[in-house]
Structure 1
């Protein structure tokens, strides 16, 4: 109960800190969600994407 009261007093008591908390939370959630989705997509499509197979098709410059 003390933790909930501390969080309330720190983040949710005033409207300005509540709004900032919501904005920061949305940005963090979006970033984490995007990274997780990208990681799942890369894992499911491993070996099929250009970044995984481009070494098979690129030629090195020989001097």
Structure 2
């Protein structure tokens, strides 16, 4: 029995398993896209975001 045959018998033949694999794949792809998009955004806008310049404008607890 080949690998492709065993994958087919495990995932594709049963509808609930196929739908589960589709949902898990979509969920994982969504998380991966969000993580990498956020990293790219932070990389391209480094030094211009509030988290990078907060120390210049925000008062510390001693100054309040």
TM range (shorter): 0.7 to 0.9
Q: Deviations over 1:38-58 (max 9, x none)?
A: 110010000001011111111
Q: Deviations over 1:1-39 (max 9, x none)?
A: 833223222222211100110011101100100111011
Q: Which runs of 5+ in 2 are unaligned?
A: none
Q: Report which stretch shifted further, 30-39 or 52-61.
A: 52-61
Aligned length: 63
Equivalent in the alignment of 2:35? 35
Normalised by the length of structure 2, the TM-score is 0.83
Equivalent in the alignment of 1:44? 44
Normalised by the length of structure 1, the TM-score is 0.84
Runs of 4+ in 1 over 6 A off after TM superposition: none
d(CA) in 1 for partners of 2:12, 2:30: 21
Q: Report which stretch shifted further, 18-27 or 2-11.
A: 2-11
